[in-house]
Amino acid sequence: MSQVKKFISPGAWFSMEYPSDWSEFEDSEGTFLFYNPDVWNGNFRISAYRDDSNSRYGKDAVVTELKENSSARQVKIGDYTCAYSKEMFQEENEYFVTHWWIVGVDNLAFECSFTVHKGQSPTVAETIIASLRARSVEVKYPAEIIPIRLSEIFLINESFDWVANIIKKEWSKPFQGAEEDLPSLQLLVDSGLIGKKKRDEWLAVGITLCSILASEIEEVQWMTLIDGNREVPVLVYGNDKVIDPMKLVWSKIKVGQPCNIESSYQEALNFDK
């Protein structure tokens, strides 16, 4: 993979790198799905399991798989010894192969799969697996900004819908997420409907304000900020300019300062000048 994106799992259990032309898509809870939406060349899925009381949990999972799965064999991928197996299936007159790996890293066990057309190489999946890194709860990692994850996309949508529904219910005003909606957002801030200590609700207001900004600023994009226990969406412009939704609203509210939505908006709108 010459160009890659970085993924850090929710809860920051692990990180990995995957092709830059792939994206994350929704799957079952606890399983993360990646593939190229434009030119399909395989689905990569990964699930992680952790046992904080057993530092050999990952290795034990590999040993168990090799014992209990008669079709599994031991393979080496990067620094990892894995249990590998595969199965073929037919769907709509096409043949596919799903490759399976159980990977152990300290107290983490990973179940990885890669489904491709029959005859297609699993090399790209092996490269992803080789990039896997366990993250320790005892280590303070530097803050990182990574491509937007589904969990933050869901938070953005939930925050916007929550704000829009309140404004519609309380003031019978439509809320489209455009610049002309700023006065309605100020009504919500000044109304007292959100308690002074309701951090998550104030963050939702900040995220909604950022959604309006995203519709007005070209070349800005949503990304995910991982900073200790904070895993939140932020707006990024260029390589180093970041708009943090928390700083637009909650950082003012929590210290008792007035929050002027128009001023916060204009300040952020001109951040690249």
Task: Summarize pLDDT for 152-207 with one digit per residue, the tens.
Answer: 999 999 999 999 999 999 999 999 999 999 999 999 999 999 999 999 999 999 99
pLDDT of amino acid 2: 60
pLDDT of amino acid 1: 52
Residue 107 pLDDT exceeds 80: yes
Residue 99 has which token pair?
């490759």
Q: Bigger pLDDT: 29 or 225?
A: 225
Ordered by where they begin, the domains of the chain are 4-141 (3.40.1000.10), 146-269 (1.20.120.1090)
Burial 46-64 (b: 16+ CB within 10 A, else e): bbbebeeeeeebbbebbee
Residue 128 pLDDT exceeds 90: yes
Which own/partner contact pairs does 158-162 have at CB distance under 8 Å and 24+ positions apart?
158/204, 159/203, 159/204, 159/205, 159/207, 159/208, 159/211, 160/207, 160/208, 160/211, 162/201, 162/204
Give the Cα-Cα-Cα angle 52, 58, 60 (nearest 5 degrees). 110
Please state, in angstroms and rounded to a whole number, the distance separating the CA atoms of residues 113 and 102: 9
Residue 272 pLDDT exceeds 70: no
pLDDT of amino acid 273: 52
CB of 116 closer than 8 Å to CB of 97: yes
Report residue 88's pLDDT band, with 50, 70 and 90 as the boundaries: very high
Q: Bigger pLDDT: 272 or 238?
A: 238
Cα–Cα separations (whole angstroms), residue 49 to 3, 35, 78, 96, 176: 28, 22, 20, 27, 41
Q: What is the pTM of this model?
A: 0.91
Burial 175-202 (b: 16+ CB within 10 A, else e): beeeeebbebbbbbbeeeebeeeeeebb
pLDDT of amino acid 137: 83
Report residue 218's pLDDT band, with 50, 70 and 90 as the boundaries: confident
- Among residues of the chain, what percentage have pLDDT more than 90? 85
Average pLDDT, the chain: 94
pLDDT of amino acid 271: 64
Q: Bigger pLDDT: 100 or 29?
A: 100
47: part of which helix (H) or strand (E)? Answer: strand 43-50
How confident is the model over 219-263, as pLDDT tens digits?
899 999 999 999 999 999 876 789 999 999 999 999 999 899 999
Neighbours of 214 (CB within 10 A): 15
